[in-house]
Amino acid sequence: MLRLDRVSKVYKVGTFGGKELRAVSDVSFNVEDGEVVSLIGESGSGKSTIGKMILRLISISSGAIFFDGMDISTLSGGALKEYYRKVQGVFQDPFSTYNPIFKADRVFRTIHEEFYPGVKGREWNEKLESSLEAVGLNPEEVLNKFPHQLSGGQLQRFLIARALLLDIQFLVADEIISMLDASTRIDVLNLVADLKSRGLSILFITHDLSLGYYISERAVILHRGCVVEMGSTEEVYYNPLHPYTRMLMACVPRLDEKWQDVEVELKAQQSGITSGCVYYERCQVAGKDECCATERPALRKVESDHYVACGQC
């Protein structure tokens, strides 16, 4: 359904844009029909950048993203609008998504005006109500209110309902529950998982590994803009091969196990990415004399659905 082919994003930084920052480099992966893929990484790993490129909010520096075989960077005008009918995003902070001056249901009205101008008022209201009910909201309680009168969980569900109005096929969910409380976050998470049964594909961007495991079939681990490991969730979680993934798994606070004594490398990692492995400086297994420093390892298949970018394991 969605295919990323060696996608990179380079930002110009420094005075007069003299330097380059590679936020995402050569990322390739697929999302199949009705599949939930979680994109996991720490801050600065480029996970949100990938989400924004899929939504065409920022341009792609090199590589291409294909949706149903169509290169999305070529879309414009009506074709782009058709694309947004199928692909939508929901973001981290539900509070800043709304304009506080207007009532929260304005997000639905704009959809009505833009995408369904031919639909009559009553018919639209029925559609809206069924969409709100699908996300577990009671239309009478939530419509006609200002954003500050609704809770974070309700606002976030509003945005998902908005996406559902468009009969979408692909949802980019960027850290959608990290701002919500423990008691409500699981409801929103279940809701997203339920969407899958409607045939939706979801790219679930998160830094929380347990959420990724809960919801997704496949996981992609990013580090400094590169995919270091990807595959089926079980393989990646129970048999992590890349040293970075292992470190990440060991650092996650869990409720069933206490932390093992893992050394966490805290040294600053400011120096720019060289040509070698992105994890080289922090890596503890790298044979430092080998090619780790000079050559970036490519993703290689280790099991039927498990790829690792590490030359050592």
Partner 1 sequence: MSLQVENLRVYYQTLRGDVKALDGATFSIADREIMGLAGESGCGKSTLGNGLILLTPPMRFVEGRVTIDDEELPIWDMERMDGFRFRKISIIPQYAMNAMNPTRKIGKMTSELLESRNVDSRATLPELERRLDLVELTRDVLNMYPIELSGGMKQRMVMVISTLLNPSLLIADEITSALDVSTQKAVADMLVEFRDREFVKSMMVITHDISILYQIADSILIMYAGQLAEKASTEVIIHSPRHPYTKLLISALPKVGVKYAERRLAGIPGNPPLLLDPPVGCRFRERCPVAFDRCLQEPQFIEVEKDHFVACWKEFERDA
Q: Give residues in contact with partner 1 (CB under 8 A).
A: 42-43, 151, 181-187, 189-190, 193, 207, 209-211, 213-215, 233, 237, 247-249, 251-256, 258-259, 262, 264-268
Cβ closer to partner 1: 270 or 275? 270
Cβ closer to partner 1: 48 or 233? 233
Cβ closer to partner 1: 17 or 253? 253
Measured distance CA(54)–CA(271) in Å, rounded? 28
Cβ closer to partner 1: 7 or 177? 177
Measured distance CA(57)–CA(55) in Å, rounded? 5
**Token pair recorded at residue 134:** 């699908």
Q: How far is the CB of 184 from partner 1 (least distance, A)?
A: 6
| 261 DSSP assignment | -
Q: How far is the CB of 53 from partner 1 (least distance, A)?
A: 22
Cβ closer to partner 1: 166 or 273? 273
Adjacency order of strands within the sheet including 62-67:
19-31, 2-13, 62-67, 70-71
Pairing of the two strands 19-31 and 2-13: antiparallel
Residues in the chain: 313
Q: How far is the CB of 50 from partner 1 (least distance, A)?
A: 18
Q: Which residue has the tokens 């980019």?
A: 172
CA dihedral 285, 291, 297, 303 (to 10 degrees): -60
**Mapping DSSP to helix (H, G, I), strand (E, B) and coil, where does residue 201 land?**
strand
